[in-house]
Structure 1
């Protein structure tokens, strides 16, 4: 913002809009999100005062003392980026604004002593939307002159229908004597061709020809300033909400998202960054998750930097995700759980915070299968997990998982190397008395025998064995007893005798 522009000119709501419009290339979209939240909080909110403030005269001091003080509209004192974002924002919301207010604002732009081509093009585009200047071209006179010179140079002086001959809708192949390279160039960059505004609603072929011609001009003749104007006019010919204030197409992850999901990403990001309470209407933005495929959910999570969210935000975020999206698909829920929780759980060095436990419990209760595969399984597979991870997983297992999913977690432990933390998780699973089939119990006994030699001095392992021999005595077969007897012989803890006694009682049944 110019040094002469005081933020005190605006009220609280308008200051938020100003801040959004100054925030960078995405300023128009940010301002739209702010305005929508203000509308939800107060349906009577209006932009009239905001526009009126921008149109007020402001005394300015010239760069040199030779000129007297001047009065300019406040909007002219803002940087070019603000003006571009403001005009794009007005383009998005002008249907709900009084036409007189928009017209007045556009007239104020005409008093700008140093207008940029980009801003001028946006002004003219808005004037067209309001029904004015229908035939005035969007490009500058300088650009028009250069277009004429280029046309003459490429086609020849006095030759009629030269451009139409090259681009009349007929296929121009590489063997054509005239304009072959030009045709190829126009085909490659045809999307960039909406530079010239048509003077009439003429034939479609004529429109295509002009679009291709203007792209050639943009690539060969325009200097930096004119090229910027060309690109902005390009954007103006398409809906501004899909071209303005989004990251440029550079092959990044966001390019894979449809426009409406990109809008929701920005709204969610602003919601996460805000310090205000979330109302029900704010939560509705999370409904976009139902429109995402698995790949888009991962891109969305990355753009929102969900792994880096502070833990105190998690409970509120999880309740928002689950409330409107109770039918989350397995893949969507898995991607969200992995992004939100996995890194935080793996890096625990002390007991999990209340916020982390609350968030994990809510997701585990509503999405148990994704929770098992996206969080519990990967944590178990981590070789260096400790007591903080085991304590959290035990709370989830005991409080959120039914017998079916407890059996699933138990099967996961058959595929990993056990340690003390894993032993406590297995013990917790067995204590909950899931309904073990004969086959599953035999697999478990096999794991006890295989991994037992590593825990001859482990009290946790001995306690787990005692649970098996007391709570699951009816599952123990003769083959199991033989295997367990060899395992108990290696035990060196104070529980060895109680274990042998428990095994002996089974042998007499």
Structure 2
């Protein structure tokens, strides 16, 4: 709802900032591309719109209407991405505009700690205040308590042992008087004492699988303590080894990927950065055969980092990962497939149009499932320029009911038609219309053209469209003729 407050260029920035935790980098990429097209582009209209007052409706009848800056009505993640983006580009922004935005964010009745910290960081960067602290008093107190807990831990095990949950103490530390449960964990004739609140964790750790180098796993009972040969004391080695064993494996985005992809993530990134033979690379890793549930993780692991692919590389990746899966749809796309398609289409709209949307439109057996997915991309991922590009792609193919659905979706989004393009579109209506005399979908599309785009209809267009409507056999025929009759060409 709030996106409509912005102009065309600013809408792209807003949509980028709403795209997850990588929104700031996406917005920066959009900004740089807009600058390349228009070197005189300014972010001032974008900042001014964010600072405009907006009337908010009360949640209950007894509450009065309130007025808040528009930026305060966006979700916390948007504000976080916005401030990160502004910090990256604040050197090219007018200081008053940045200060006004920060003042608006301080009026937020629902402040987020991260947003507060980022506001203070920007205030420090712009010289609004003299070195404001980036943390709250409560945060300072917790950091002090955490630092006190670290006293006595070795250099290699301090933070890891503290943050892993249960605190492991050596035999010399157990004499300090803290409550200790006489639970012992036996392994190869040696004993290690655990804190009292770690009984269940200690038992579960015996069954836990731990990742080791080379991708192999072994039980904790079979783990060999190689630290004994390093010259450290035996008790310190036992404490550090157990502290590492009790920590679960990191739950990152790569964990759900197939094994042959997971072990190659670094090589994948290196290959993509070097612009090597991407098609051969995608074929070797069997990208077209990957299960759909792995696609979101793969996209976040490889495509989200600050890698700015060329057009050809992005098109090849999109074609290899998604095209066959979209073409083979016989039912609505799964959530995983939709997530992967929308993320790639938002980041690389032009390659997505040519490598995915175009080939799907050209498919003779394109069905409703494919049309539904393309409509979601048109509505949520493409701006006016790329929507018109999709429309132009339909001029080169024979229309069917599914293609009509896509064209109708483009028209509903109200792209900015040029006179030449509308003339080409009207010619397509006349040439392809005779096969849809009984099609309600075609009639609804025509009604959209005559009502939403009547200012584009010239006298020549009106005369041609009159003949097209004469052969229409649907229940909308009279409505179509009435809409055409109301048009008065300039």
Structure that is richer in strand per residue = 2
Asked which structure has the greater CA Rg, the reply is 1
The structure whose RCO (Cα within 8 Å, separation 6+) is larger is: 1
Relative to the length of structure 2, the TM-score reads 0.48
Structure that is richer in helix per residue = 1
Relative to the length of structure 1, the TM-score reads 0.47
